Amino acid sequence: MSDSYLDLRRKLTERDRSLHEKVVSLEQAAALVKDGETVGIGGSTLSRTPMAMVWALIRARKKRLTCARGITSSEGDWLFGSGACDHMITSWFSQGIVWGVSKVMRHYTEQGLARFDEWSHMAMGMRFRAGAMGVPFLPMRSMLGSDVVRQRPEVREMECPFTGDKLLLVPALNPDVALIHVQRCDAYGNAQMDGLQFLDIDLAMAATRVILTTERIVSNGQIRRVPDQTKIPFFAVEAVVEVPFGCAPHECSGVNEPLFKHMDYYTSLVNKEPVKGMAEYLDRYVYGPKSWTEYLNLLGLDHLLEAAKGGRSVSNA
Amino acid sequence: MSDSYLDLRRKLTERDRSLHEKVVSLEQAAALVKDGETVGIGGSTLSRTPMAMVWALIRARKKRLTCARGITSSEGDWLFGSGACDHMITSWFSQGIVWGVSKVMRHYTEQGLARFDEWSHMAMGMRFRAGAMGVPFLPMRSMLGSDVVRQRPEVREMECPFTGDKLLLVPALNPDVALIHVQRCDAYGNAQMDGLQFLDIDLAMAATRVILTTERIVSNGQIRRVPDQTKIPFFAVEAVVEVPFGCAPHECSGVNEPLFKHMDYYTSLVNKEPVKGMAEYLDRYVYGPKSWTEYLNLLGLDHLLEAAKGGRSVSNA
Amino acid sequence: MSSTAAHYTASELLAVMSSRLLKDGQIVFAGVGIPLLAATLAQGTHCPGLTILFEGGVIGPVIEPGKLPPSTNEQRCTVRANMVLASTDVLLLLQRGYVDIGFMGGAQIDQYGNLNSSFIGDPAHPKTRLPGTGGGNDIASLAQMIVAMKHEKRRFVEEVDFVTSPGFLRGGTSRRDSGLLAGGMYRVVTDLGIFGFDEQTRRMKIVALHDGVSIEQVQDNTGFKLEPARDVEVTKRPTERELEFLRKLDPERLYTA
Amino acid sequence: MSSTAAHYTASELLAVMSSRLLKDGQIVFAGVGIPLLAATLAQGTHCPGLTILFEGGVIGPVIEPGKLPPSTNEQRCTVRANMVLASTDVLLLLQRGYVDIGFMGGAQIDQYGNLNSSFIGDPAHPKTRLPGTGGGNDIASLAQMIVAMKHEKRRFVEEVDFVTSPGFLRGGTSRRDSGLLAGGMYRVVTDLGIFGFDEQTRRMKIVALHDGVSIEQVQDNTGFKLEPARDVEVTKRPTERELEFLRKLDPERLYTA
């Protein structure tokens, strides 16, 4: 985060940015993330969360990750509860509005076991956008005057040299790696996504490298037929993993709605006993299964197909 | 351009921003532009230029317009030569690389009859983007050190409070009106476009109001089936005009390639005698025809269909 | 008035009263729950040309009865929308000035309309860490606000523990002095009445009371002194049509129980 | 060497010599004309993994022989591209640091590699108003540059009338001191030779001469003193394969006549 402009550029040039195949397994992709790195997480709340990749990072016993996301849901619980992450940078952190306040988030933050830096949602967007643009900050007009800004020594206020308006300058956030799940991409990492984009495009361009998970890998020819649908260019991408239902139990637009019954079960389990409940959940659902497919099986094929029916039919209306 | 933040907001709230039909004729749309206003022009060079709207403004004998565009081609000649515009804000101004330097642009700028403010292309993009974001400026890292910046008293240099880097702050450009041509939109102004977007989306959101010309008007239902393809929201739009081949003699992606033979004829005519040649051209092609369709007829149906064949087949490869 | 209309929940009352504050043609940035119900109700009654925006990145969706989205970041929010765009860009519409009304719920509010959704107790050692602002701070900073919430003394406090979403901050010109040039609290809608803010002091005041509610009852449930406006009106009870619309919209009573 | 290879135009020489400077895997921001021909030639010879970016907003297009785009803002630029994006965003890739080489033509260059495409004569009262920078200033400000141009005394001047696209400005550290932290002139390719810039003074120097060209000939066609590098190489003449590729690409000789 405190890299100089030239450091940020150098990190990009150190990568092989030619058009080459980069399809790997979840485990191989997890090995690309180092302990202590800053990880940007795509999607928002219950939507297009790169859950399979978060699951793989926890299984790989990552430590001391700093994670950043627009709005954080149960994947934040997992990251805190597993010990993979001790620092979330986000605008909102719970399991989802319908389940009330996350007791896991409360336990870790109130006990001082982990840090939750709060920014406004637009500020998160501006920080990724500044990072994507290669500028050290962007100016904005919210957060001013509130206590949210008083908790954030990272910002600066300025008087606009053009208008005299008071503006808030928020610093660029350039994660070491971004985890992003898309509906389709090619083997090189040219990614196309449907529905809500959230902050993902700025996040992808702000990060030093992107790990893509995708519902399916399509041919480069398919991408090239509609290049104006490509949202992330291959040269930003370090690895591509094909993971059907890679957001479960969260949703993926046009693919599946959230697995609400599983989320109900999950929240009641971990909110009852944030540490013990989470340990039980992680043992059973994250460390236990041999593969992501086995994890999906644990969620239940009937539940999965029901959620998929809802996801596929969302635009039928 | 020197409106305060609250003035800019007020101008938006003065418009009827409800979902309502706003289909008008070219002539009615031209009446929405007032003498002396700042007009942002969509597209770039020979592409997706809102030529029909420029044509209509000239026929309506507009005066003292300030026009802004990423890259300016022969529509800039028309605007200078007709007397509709005496001030272009752009990064490049000629007829197109293949025709050399525009003698019309040269005549008007070298004789001091009109002003051509030069900014870098990215600076034009940043100025529209700042306008679209509701901030008074954006920071950037180019133009510094060059003579381009020395000609621009509008900018400020700053030392970044985060990094100490020298940055250029370019002021927001919020045109009174933006003219944008799209492949399709609905009667409310929800616009979808194919291929190159250029600066159009930022321009649309920076402007106080948008006049859309479109190859065809589609139903709102068609728009709502793929809302993630909508690029300009209806509430930014003041008027919608259906104008097939509305970019001729320039191109519209997927619709027609440039009418090169007409452009060859045009450039040889006006570059030989910038004033007299232009007067002749305007009389014949702009003031003369009774309608845009009659103008297209003057270009030649054979030429038009040939260009359309090229435009339609561009993605066949 | 029919017997159906005679019975309604506090949440239904909130939704109806809030919906009546919306005007046709407005662009409303809405949260899920009461705000979304109220905005949809307004569309179905007196505001056919009302446009809803969602924080996830949605302009002008159609809310299907029985398929309420669980958050503003979910695909159900995009159904038959006019436009889906990046979250950052929909939030920037607030900053650009395209939004007439920001409309959200509140957990804790103070006399100047400041909202807290971050911390109960001292932020350095909080009793409770709440989920935080989301887009709330941006909405409250950049648009005229309507807030719908239950009227309880612990929620209506003299000074919030933490200003997550700014109202008029410390009153007077303090909001503008902080650099927040536009927007501000317009109305707070509760199950007891409707509240506005004094033009000078920016303190909350009573604008209207719901049928059968007294000023004393409001004051008893408020942790600071509430002045009545010059003419305190009495609101009209929810109509059968309004209640039926709401019950069709939310048949499982997720938000209106 | 065959007889075909023995005959080539100055433009063909420029295209071939420039293409050889490109390396596989690079991301090249290319203008139309010689730069695009050279980049496409490189793809067809030693750089199959080279990616071309266009200012209009294109990543990784496929250039079809005989269908060269007339500008970098035209739909032909998008044919079979990997991605099409806003012009502002493709230019921001330069600022972010994603571009290895900016590659353009030049009308007038000076001893520090500054390019002028804005004014001939005094900018306040110019003899000739030229079209201006387009994206040239951005490319030259933010990326390592290769410039391909005809070698004429009136084009190679001691000091350009106007710095449109910055090289090393006034030499030494002046470029960096101006805030341009990255990029800078890498090579100038002409029909006489290949030129680089001294690491300290940042003045142009002779890196290589084309077959049969003397240092004197270069100096006679240059408006400032050109020092030779320590070892001035002699370039290898264009091969038959290179020339055939170019002639297939541009059968109408739009850019190679």
Domains of chain B, first to last:
23-122+173-315 (3.40.1080.10), 137-171 (no CATH)
What average pLDDT does the segment D19-48 reach? 96
Q: Helix or strand or coil: residue C190?
A: coil
pLDDT at residue B105 in the model:
98
**pLDDT tens per residue across span B196-242:** 999 999 999 999 999 999 999 999 999 999 999 999 999 999 999 99
Strands C144-148 and C184-189: parallel
Quick check: A201 and A232 in contact, CB under 8 A? Answer: yes
Q: Which two tokens stand for residue B197?
A: 């977007």
**pLDDT tens per residue across span D93-133:** 999 999 999 999 999 999 999 999 999 999 999 999 999 99
Does residue A233 have a cis bond before it (omega within 30 degrees)? no
Cβ <8 Å between C77 and A258: no
Q: D92: alpha, beta or left, given left = phi > 0 and alpha = psi -120 to 50?
A: alpha
Quick check: A132 and A206 in contact, CB under 8 A? Answer: yes
Backbone phi, psi, residue D78, to 5°: -95, -5
Higher pLDDT, C255 or C146: C146
Whole-prediction pTM: 0.98
H runs (alpha helix) in B93-169: 103-110, 121-133, 147-150
> Sign of dihedral through CA atoms D207, D213, D216, D219?
negative
> Sign of dihedral through CA atoms C185, C187, C193, C199?
positive
Which regions of C106-222 does DSSP assign to beta strands (E)? Answer: 108-110, 115-116, 119-120, 128-129, 144-148, 156-157, 184-189, 193-197, 204-209
Which regions of B200-242 does DSSP assign to beta strands (E)? Answer: 209-217, 230-232, 237-242
Q: Give the side-chain half-sphere CA count within 13 A for B151.
A: 22
The single residue of C55, C158, C216, C242 carrying the catalytic annotation is C55
Which residues in chain A have their CB less than 8 angstroms from residue D95's CB? Answer: 133-135
D233 noted as active-site residue = no
DSSP code of B236?
Answer: G
Which residues in chain C have their CB less than 8 angstroms from residue B13's CB? Answer: 97, 100
Cβ <8 Å between A190 and D83: yes
Q: C218: alpha, beta or left, given left = phi > 0 and alpha = psi -120 to 50?
A: alpha
Long-range contacts of A55-59 (CB under 8 A, 24+ apart): A55/A26, A55/A286, A55/A292, A55/A295, A56/A26, A56/A27, A56/A29, A56/A30, A56/A292, A57/A30, A57/A33, A57/A84, A58/A82, A58/A84, A58/A282, A58/A286, A58/A287, A59/A27, A59/A30, A59/A286, A59/A287
**pLDDT tens per residue across span D191-231:** 999 999 999 999 999 999 999 999 999 999 999 999 888 89
CB-CB: which of A5, A18, A227 is closest to D81?
A227
The ipTM value here is 0.97
Length of chain B: 317
Q: Helix or strand or coil: residue C80?
A: coil
Q: Tell me the average confidence (pLDDT) per consecutive run of 10 residues in chain A, 317 residues long.
A: 89 95 98 98 98 98 98 98 98 95 98 98 98 98 98 98 98 98 98 97 98 98 96 98 98 97 98 98 98 98 96 81
CB-CB: which of A6, A18, A20 is closest to D181?
A6
**Distance between CA A79 and CA A69 in Å, rounded?**
12
Name residue, tokens 């809405």.
Answer: C30
- D2's CB contacts (< 8 A; 6+ apart) are D240
Number of C-beta neighbours around residue B38 at 10 A: 19
**Distance between CA C241 and CA B92 in Å, rounded?**
60
- For residue D137, the surrounding DSSP H or E stretch is helix D136-142
CA distance to partner chain D, nearest, from residue A195 (Å): 18
- The B-side interface with C (CB below 8 A) comprises 5-6, 8-10, 12-13, 16-20, 132-135, 188, 190, 205, 220, 223-224, 227-228, 230, 233-236
Cβ <8 Å between A235 and D51: yes
**Distance between CA B148 and CA B163 in Å, rounded?**
25
Backbone phi, psi, residue A129, to 5°: -65, -40
**Distance between CA A317 and CA C248 in Å, rounded?**
17
pLDDT at residue C92 in the model:
98
pLDDT at residue C257 in the model:
81
Cβ <8 Å between A251 and C135: no
**Could you give the percent of chain B with pLDDT greater than 70?**
99
Which residues in chain A have their CB less than 8 angstroms from residue D100's CB? Answer: 13, 17
Cβ <8 Å between C74 and A197: no
pLDDT at residue C6 in the model:
64
Residue D1 predicted with pLDDT over 80: no
Residue B12 predicted with pLDDT over 70: yes
CA dihedral A53, A55, A59, A63 (to 10 degrees): 80
Evaluate whether chains D and C are touching (3 or more beta carbon pairs less than 8 Å apart): no
Does residue B153 have a cis bond before it (omega within 30 degrees)? no
In chain D, the domains with their CATH numbers are 3-249 (3.40.1080.10)
**Distance between CA B53 and CA B212 in Å, rounded?**
9
- For residue A116, the surrounding DSSP H or E stretch is strand A115-118
